[in-house]
Amino acid sequence: MTQKSSLDAATLARWRQDIVFKDNVLGDDYTFHSTWGIFSPESIDEGSRLLLEHVDFKATDNCLDVGCGYGILGMVCAKKAPQGTSILLDKDFVAVDYARKNCGINKLNNTEIFLSNGFSAVGNRKFDIILSNLPAKVSKEQHYLYLYDAFEHLEVGGRFYVVTINGLRDFISRTFKEVFGNYSKLKQGKVYTVAMAEKLAVSS
C-alpha cells in the first residue's frame, strides 16, 4: 500500500514551472526566471543588492561575475557597462541555463555565460571588475582560490568586489590585504558586508 501525498498534482506542477519576477535595480527594470534549488529563487537577495549599490561602473568595463546563479550581478554589469563584455560563471549547470535565459530575455547581448569550476572557463582573460556574492559555507581553501584567481584575472587598476555575511568580514579584511595589499570596507549592514580590493601596479 502506497502512502498518499498531501500535495495535489496542480501544486506540484506549479512548483515545476519557472519562478518569474520583475525588479528594478539601480534604475533599470529586469525580468528574472529562476527555479527551486537556485539561491534566492523568488527575489534578489539583500546581499547582492547591497553589493551592486557600491560598485563603481564605467561604460567600457569588462566584468566577471563568479558564482552567478540566475545572473543578477552579471546582468547589472552588462547594463551598466554596455561597451564592455560581462562574463557570468557558475559550477551549477541549472544556474548557467537560467543565467543564459535571463540575459536573453533582457536583451543583454554583451554577455557570455559559462559552466565553470571557479575561474577555469575564462582562460587568461583579464577584467576591470570582478564581483561575487561569496558563499559562507565553503572551505578556507576555496576562498583563497577565489582571491588569488581574482587577482590573476584583474587588469592593473581593476577591482574585486565581494559581499559576505558579517561573520566573514575579518577573514576577508585579512586575506584581501594578504593577496592584494589593500582592503576597503564599502558598507557594513546588519547582516552583510561589502568589500573591495584593487590590483595595484607593481613598483619598479
Q: Which pLDDT score is estimated for 60?
A: 98
State pLDDT tens for residues 27-48. Answer: 999 999 999 999 999 999 999 9
Please indicate, yes or no, whether the overall pTM of this predicted structure exceeds 0.95.
Answer: no
Q: Which pLDDT score is estimated for 2?
A: 58
Domains of the chain: 18-198 (3.40.50.150)
Which residue matches cell numbers 557570468?
88
State pLDDT tens for residues 155-179. Answer: 999 999 999 999 999 999 999 999 9
Per DSSP, helices labelled H in 32-168 are 46-52, 72-80, 93-105, 140-152
- CA-CA distance, 32 to 44, in Å (whole number)? 9
Nearest to 33, CA basis, from 17, 13, 50: 17
pLDDT, averaged in runs of 10, over the chain (204 residues): 71 88 97 95 95 97 97 98 98 97 98 96 97 84 92 98 93 95 96 96 71
Q: Could you give the C-alpha distances from 131 to 8, 63, 162, in angstroms and in order? A: 42, 8, 6
Q: Which pLDDT score is estimated for 127?
A: 98
The angle formed by the CA atoms of residues 21, 96 and 89, to the nearest 5 degrees, is 115
Q: Which pLDDT score is estimated for 92?
A: 95
Q: Which pLDDT score is estimated for 202?
A: 78
Reading the block at residue 102, the C-alpha cell is 535571463
